[in-house]
Amino acid sequence: MARIVRSLALASMFLAALHPAARANPFARFAPPAAELVNGRWNGVNLERRSRCANAQNEGTRGTYAQFDVTTDAAGNFTIDQSGITGLNCAYVGRYVTSGERIGASGTYSCTDGKRGDFEARAIDVNGISLDIQMSIQLTGTESCRIEAILGMARLAPPS
């Protein structure tokens, strides 16, 4: 009997610590990720693996440190302005969608060196101080590379 009482007490403490939706229904899932958490200025790296390029010298793996200004809005618009330390600036402009526990986005990609194409972000993971975006880019201009990229970003939490 004492074991049952202790088990019930532990279960009660566990349920009290849960998200309100989970307390009402233990099988409830958390709300979809909030796309607005990605908004703001981030610092990090753009890692790329390029393949199937028209010019063989453009194939391979690259990494560039950059500042990223990310914006979303309630209408579903999604923009990343990337300012690289090399002086190269790129823009990702499109739409985002949430599906279950995932955020995805797709649209157009353009850079100040003339590169253009289409992007699709398959996974956008954000927790407030870090943002990781896995994407594919297909260049459509004079260079035709297929790019698999990870934008890995971080920022300091606001002072408390």
Share of the chain above pLDDT 90, in %: 61
How far apart (Å, rounded) are the C-alpha atoms in residues 95 and 63? 25
Q: How high is the pLDDT of residue 8?
A: 40
95 forms bridges with which residues in the sheet? 77, 106
Q: In the chain, what are the domains?
A: 35-154 (2.40.128.20)
Q: How high is the pLDDT of residue 147?
A: 97
Q: How high is the pLDDT of residue 101?
A: 75
* pLDDT tens digit sequence for 114-152: 999 999 999 999 887 999 999 999 999 888 999 999 999
Compute the average pLDDT of residues 73-90: 94
130 forms bridges with which residues in the sheet? 154
How far apart (Å, rounded) are the C-alpha atoms in residues 122 and 116? 19
111 forms bridges with which residues in the sheet? 90
Whole-model pTM: value is: 0.76
